[in-house]
Amino acid sequence: MDDIKKSGTSKVPEKAAKPDQAGAGATPLPQAAAPAAALEAAAPTPAPASAAPDPEAKPQAAAPVPNTELLLLRVQQEQAASMMAQIKSEAEALSPEEMRHLHSHLLANPMHALNETCFKEVDTFRQMSLTFSNLRANSKAFLSIRQDQKAIWSEGGENSRMVGLSFAAGTDPALYLRSFLINAREMILETYQDCSEININLYVRTDQLHLQGRVDLPPGASVTLQSRCDRSSIVGLSSFGVDLE
């Protein structure tokens, strides 16, 4: 029996080879499935569905297009400012008389558009008489219409049969004027001898019923402005106002 047990005893099988020690022909064991999160990341992301247009949504404004006229206007303004700065710097070296002459031109230039409008649109001419008195020799008298007045000096209109610009010496035997300048709003007289009285008759082109301005006269001189219904006398450096109707 002992022999039978010994002879019948089977050998214990060897342990199976480990996976890393398996030969080339060994079949690899199946790996564990990938985590669900990794699968979701690898899956393609579906494209978002296009939203329907909102009928109440405001359309976006297009990009502004450069305005050529606006750019040109800015360039002109910069050039004008540069020119005015240059004129002011040069004006510091001028004498008081030259400065006054320059100031009269600078004052008249901004009024050019208003003067043109008045000349084209106004057809009413109102008579005006100016009498300068006691002007000394080598003196100047200055008279101007104020800037906010829609009015200019005029010789009258042919259609209204009111035409003319006249001078008279008053009591003097002659007009002792060295120069006389008149433009749309200004009037300057310069004498070379004492003048007791100088009369000027002209017209004011305006629809206004009242005229305002200023005078700058030498010491002792005066000017009288007379319309059909009013009369005003001024001396020195003063403002004036005259009713026209």
127 phi/psi in degrees, rounded to 5: -70, 145
149-163 b/e with 16+ CB inside 10 Å = b?
bebbbbebeeeeeee
Structure confidence at residue 161 (pLDDT): 65
Structure confidence at residue 62 (pLDDT): 55
Whole-angstrom CA distances from 44 to 37, 38, 40, 47, 156 are 13, 12, 8, 9, 92
Whole-model pTM: value is 0.54
What are the beta bridge partners of residue 243? 210
- For the chain, helix, strand, coil in percent to 5 are 25, 30, 40
Domains located in the chain, CATH noted: 105-243 (2.60.40)
CA-CA distance, 74 to 81, in Å (whole number)? 10
Cβ atoms within 10 A of the Cβ of 146, count?
14
Residue among 173, 206, 177 nearest 189 (CA): 177
Whole-angstrom CA distances from 130 to 141, 198, 225, 234 are 12, 8, 5, 11
Structure confidence at residue 22 (pLDDT): 44
Regions of the chain where pLDDT drops below 70? 1-66, 91, 102, 104-110, 158-163
Helix axes 96-108, 68-91, angle to 10 degrees: 160
| Ranges assigned E (strand) in 160-221 | 162-163, 166-168, 177-182, 186-191, 195-206, 210-216
Structure confidence at residue 19 (pLDDT): 45
